[in-house]
Amino acid sequence: MAIEIASVVSKLQMLSTSDHSSVVSMNLFVALLCACIVLGHLLEENRWMNESITALLIGIATGVVILLLSGGKSSHILVFSEDLFFIYLLPPIIFNAGFQVKKKQFFVNFMIIASFGAIGTLISCVVITFGATQAFKMMDIGPLDIGDYLAIGAIFAATDSVCTLQVLNQDETPLLYSLVFGEGVVNDATSVVLFNAIQSFDLDRLNPSIAVHLLGNFLYLFIASTLLGVLTGLLSAYVIKKLYIGRHSTDREVALMMLMAYLSYMLAELFYLSGILTVFFCGIVMSHYTWHNVTESSRVTTKHSFATLSFVAEIFIFLYVGMDALDIEKWKFVSDSPGTSIATSAVLLGLILLGRAAFVFPLSFLSNLTKKSQHQKISFRQQVIIWWAGLMRGAVSMALAYNQFTRSGHTQLRSNAIMITSTITVVLFSTVVFGLLAKPLIRLLLPHQKATNSMTTTESSTPKSVIVPLLGEPRDSEADLEGHEIHRPNSIRALLSTPTHTVHRLWRKFDDSFMRPVFGGRGFVPVEPGSPTERNGNLWR
């Protein structure tokens, strides 16, 4: 009887999804994600590890197991897919970053962030392209044209903003965090723009007007993407404020916020803009206006569910990259000449180090020239940390490399196969080695932060940084500002020396008089008597 039932049951696969092997891989993947979360929690006290490295190592270990089980045929259960990455995994990560970023720090340092992100990426791209052209011509790699070299520059100029979030801690090193992370967001956009531009321009007929085109294109993309994000955010604030007066519905509010954040990203894709920039600014605007227009439960829910989605997406990416790294197909070509592949990876890693150094130190020097007071300047130690924290390469590089080097049939050409495997090597090496060294380096260079709270310094993974209440931040920044206004001894002098604070004060005035009355925001949504907002307002702040 038992056997008969088993045989009956085994026949019942018609409806249980079309492909049973995909169910197996989904099970494995979800179980691995759970394992990463549990292990990440257990390893949190460890001073070397972070969640990315844990996921990457688990991914590689699983890849090895699958490789052995399948007799060396296949290592991955899912193939790296650009669409999955750019449409489902990246948006929640970047949106959450905008949602949780300390807005004052970000905008006060906006000029240097933008110059690091735009000019810095360009310098880095040029250095890597030039270096690769020189080095690879001496090595026996295969036919690469000028477009490939430019693409290599763009691919390896793309910092991994996901990994950066794990290395630096917003609460301990707010300046460095906002600089490096802000740079990462702008850098992502710049890299993608550069890469697309390189692919779409006719590179045989290079002339000066192309530079103008590129600049105009970049400015258009930057401004249009930012505007789109801000407008979508404001629309969500307006709609929720108008609709839910007196009659709130937590589920609808949360659903609307999530859907509109996603809509901003998809709209940017629709208009060929940078979705990363759009969704980042949408997150900033939503946390400034929309978030204050909803119920207390909605605030807690959105804050934590955005953070959770971002957290899971990050682990997913690193697990994915780890598993994909052992794909046997890619390594077939390389196994003939392991030396070339190692040399290529080493050259690229060296160029990444050099390319980043070539803009971090000069641009920091220029930035320091414009600052009067000593504490506003970026010290040499901080510059070293900025340089190091941006060395990791991640999923964006992978996605761009796949796009460039697998178009003409998956790794049919030897040069393409070498470039793909080198990219994987660079991503793994930079994430694991540079990532592992980042925390000790920060402790070494900035020991005073360690002294104040030695325990939390080692726990800079995402979940920890989320525990700090979001509401505390705008209030803190405002307290800062009011402090400035009160302590100001010689106001004209202060006005001249701190122009950013003046801009901030003007913005605050404009915000209070025009924006908040229309779009809501903290203090501009009437608190219903006896509502949770009133009674427990200080709990979640």
Where in 389-418 is the site for a second copy (CB under 8 A)?
399-400, 403
Q: Which is nearer to a second copy, 301 or 368 (CB)?
A: 301
Output the smallest distance, CB 461 to a second copy, in A: 9
DSSP-based helix, strand, coil % in the chain, nearest 5: 80, 0, 20
Q: Which is nearer to a second copy, 381 or 464 (CB)?
A: 464
Describe the crossing of helices 328-336 and 338-370 by its angle, rounded to 10 degrees: 110
Q: How far apart are CA 171 and CA 161, in angstroms?
A: 17
In sequence order, the 6+-apart residues with CB closer than 8 A to the CB of 139 are 340, 343, 344, 347
Q: Which of residues 176-235 bind a second copy (CB under 8 A)?
A: 192-193, 195-197, 199-200, 213, 216-217, 220-221
Q: How far apart are CA 428 and CA 394, in angstroms?
A: 8
Site string for a second copy, 458-477 (x = CB under 8 A): ----xxx-xx----------
Q: Which is nearer to a second copy, 337 or 531 (CB)?
A: 531
Residue 33 in contact with a second copy, rule: CB under 8 A: yes
Residue 495 in contact with a second copy, rule: CB under 8 A: no
Q: Which is nearer to a second copy, 173 or 295 (CB)?
A: 295
Output the smallest distance, CB 410 to a second copy, in A: 15
- Are 89 and 318 spatial neighbours (Cβ–Cβ below 8 Å)? no
| Helical residues (DSSP H) of 371-413, grouped into ranges | 380-389, 395-405
Residue 312 in contact with a second copy, rule: CB under 8 A: yes
Size of the site for a second copy (CB under 8 A): 90
Show the tokens assigned to 19: 């492909």
Considering only the stretches 56-64, 303-311, 378-386, 424-432, report the one whose residues sit in contact with a second copy under the rule CB under 8 A: 303-311
Output the smallest distance, CB 79 to a second copy, in A: 14
Show the tokens assigned to 412: 């049919």
Output the smallest distance, CB 33 to a second copy, in A: 5
Residue 254 in contact with a second copy, rule: CB under 8 A: yes
What dihedral do alpha carbons 49, 54, 60, 64 form, nearest 10°?
100
Residue 31 class from Cβ within 10 Å (0-12 exposed, 13-18 middle, 19+ buried)?
exposed
In sequence order, the 6+-apart residues with CB closer than 8 A to the CB of 344 are 136, 139, 141, 418, 419, 422
Show the tokens assigned to 431: 């994430």
- Are 100 and 314 spatial neighbours (Cβ–Cβ below 8 Å)? no
Q: Which is nearer to a second copy, 1 or 138 (CB)?
A: 1
Show the tokens assigned to 522: 């903290």
Considering only the stretches 59-67, 247-255, 329-337, 421-429, report the one whose residues sit in contact with a second copy under the rule CB under 8 A: 247-255
What dihedral do alpha carbons 220, 222, 224, 230 form, nearest 10°?
-160
Which H or E element spans position 494? helix 491-497
Q: How far apart are CA 526 and CA 191, in angstroms?
A: 44
- Are 264 and 228 spatial neighbours (Cβ–Cβ below 8 Å)? yes
Residue 78 in contact with a second copy, rule: CB under 8 A: no
Site string for a second copy, 416-455 (x = CB under 8 A): ----------------------------------------
Q: Which is nearer to a second copy, 199 or 368 (CB)?
A: 199
Residue 9 in contact with a second copy, rule: CB under 8 A: yes
Residue 4 in contact with a second copy, rule: CB under 8 A: yes
Q: Which is nearer to a second copy, 30 or 444 (CB)?
A: 30
DSSP classification of residue 512: I
Q: Which is nearer to a second copy, 339 or 530 (CB)?
A: 530
- Are 420 and 405 spatial neighbours (Cβ–Cβ below 8 Å)? yes
Residue 503 in contact with a second copy, rule: CB under 8 A: no
In sequence order, the 6+-apart residues with CB closer than 8 A to the CB of 451 are none
Residue 24 in contact with a second copy, rule: CB under 8 A: yes
Q: Which of residues 268-297 bind a second copy (CB under 8 A)?
A: 269-270, 272, 275, 297
- Are 435 and 167 spatial neighbours (Cβ–Cβ below 8 Å)? yes
Q: Which is nearer to a second copy, 262 or 434 (CB)?
A: 262
Please choose, from the candidates 437, 421, 436, the residue with its C-alpha nearest in 3D space to the C-alpha of residue 384.
437
Output the smallest distance, CB 289 to a second copy, in A: 17
Binding test (CB under 8 A) with a second copy, winner from 87, 227, 357, 432: 87
Residue 539 in contact with a second copy, rule: CB under 8 A: yes
Residue 359 in contact with a second copy, rule: CB under 8 A: no
Output the smallest distance, CB 205 to a second copy, in A: 15
Residue 325 CA, chain-centre distance (Å), reads 21
Output the smallest distance, CB 277 to a second copy, in A: 13
DSSP classification of residue 527: P
Output the smallest distance, CB 538 to a second copy, in A: 10
Q: Which is nearer to a second copy, 216 or 362 (CB)?
A: 216
- Are 534 and 541 spatial neighbours (Cβ–Cβ below 8 Å)? no
Site string for a second copy, 133-172 (x = CB under 8 A): ----------------------------------------
Q: Which is nearer to a second copy, 254 or 418 (CB)?
A: 254
Q: Which of residues 37-66 bind a second copy (CB under 8 A)?
A: 37-38, 40-42, 44
Rg from Cα positions in the chain: 25
